[in-house]
């Protein structure tokens, strides 16, 4: 006899809850997605329509002026190259330090483990400040160097704690015992056992650190003097500040010129934002499958 499939009747409360939850999630998605969509549409629109609020959903007065100016500005491509150097160097250095520190913190047999954990945790809430940091960097001779841009922001105590929690909850202690019996030292155990089993959290750290370096401009503004070493984000900030300053200095008789400056700045601004965001958006899908797994497992314990 064929089994008849019966759907369990859901109560009115369940259906109402699902409807409210889905509606709320849709609202959150719209809030997050619309600014990205608006920037993309505004980069292809005539700035007159953007400033008047007519280009809210679709481009109006289609133009590629902003992208043409971006492509012809060698400073943008120089900033792009610098940013890629800082992201690659900082990502490699930061991931190595974070994974090794997380592994050491997850080992209970490490001498002074508790003291080290408290010392790391202390730095999350207390820091020396900008001036002492600047003085230390100056004494080390790292001012106005690309190496400094790779070092700053590479290590985070929060990332280390997430990595430690992942290793404690996902890598059983019995693996270390088995490896020790087979004559494997702690170094080989880390390289041949821990790293292959930590691909998820490594992908998460790579994404965290890469995005942090890609969006960073404040450190470059403080510690870099040579404009040839400036990252793309710092150049974007300078474009926005300079255009606003020039438009603000225009007299009442030059209101038309001031508005023209604002329109030109808007075109360049949106185009640069799109150009500077595309690499991260292209990079994210490759690590997305590891991202949720690494974050959730790493957050189980802590």
Residues 81, 150: Cα–Cα separation, whole Å: 13
Which of 209-218, 232-241, 278-287 has the weakest average pLDDT?
278-287
CA distances from 2 to 7, 9, 269 (A): 16, 21, 65
pLDDT over 90 at 268, yes or no: no
> For residue 254, what pLDDT is reported?
59
When pLDDT is cut at 50, 70 and 90, the band that residue 243 belongs to is low
Residues 89, 112: Cα–Cα separation, whole Å: 30
> For residue 137, what pLDDT is reported?
92
DSSP state of 11: P
Which 3 state secondary structure label does DSSP give 2?
A: coil
pLDDT over 90 at 223, yes or no: yes
Radius of gyration of the chain (CA): 26
Given a contact cutoff of 8 angstroms between Cβ atoms, the answer to whether 189 and 197 are in contact is no
């Amino acid at each position: 006899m064929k089994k008849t499939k019966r759907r369990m009747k859901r109560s009115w409360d369940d259906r109402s809850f699902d409807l409210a939850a889905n509606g709320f999630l849709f609202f959150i998605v719209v809030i997050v997605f619309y600014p990205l969509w608006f920037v993309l549409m505004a980069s292809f629109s005539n700035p007159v329509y953007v400033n008047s609020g007519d280009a809210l959903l679709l481009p109006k007065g289609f133009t590629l002026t902003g992208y043409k100016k971006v492509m012809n500005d060698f400073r943008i491509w120089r900033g792009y190259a610098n940013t890629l150097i800082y992201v690659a160097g900082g990502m490699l250095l930061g991931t190595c330090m974070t994974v090794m520190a997380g592994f050491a913190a997850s080992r209970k047999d490490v001498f002074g483990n508790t003291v080290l954990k408290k010392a790391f945790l202390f730095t999350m809430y207390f820091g020396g400040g900008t001036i002492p940091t600047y003085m230390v960097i100056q004494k080390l001779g790292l001012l106005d160097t690309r190496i400094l841009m790779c070092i700053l922001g590479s290590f985070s105590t929060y990332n280390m704690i997430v990595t430690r929690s992942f290793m404690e909850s996902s890598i059983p202690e019995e693996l270390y015992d088995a490896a020790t019996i087979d004559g494997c030292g702690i170094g080989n155990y880390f390289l041949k056992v821990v790293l292959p089993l930590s691909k998820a959290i490594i992908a998460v750290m790579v994404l965290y650190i890469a995005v942090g370096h890609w969006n960073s401009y404040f450190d470059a503004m403080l510690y870099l003097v040579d404009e040839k070493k400036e990252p793309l984000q710092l150049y974007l900030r300078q474009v926005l500040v300079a255009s606003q300053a020039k438009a603000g200095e225009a007299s009442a008789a030059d209101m038309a010129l001031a508005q023209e400056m604002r329109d030109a700045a808007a075109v360049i601004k949106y185009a640069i934002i799109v150009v500077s965001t595309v690499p991260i958006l292209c990079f994210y899908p490759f690590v997305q499958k590891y991202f949720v797994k690494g974050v959730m497992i790493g957050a189980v314990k802590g």
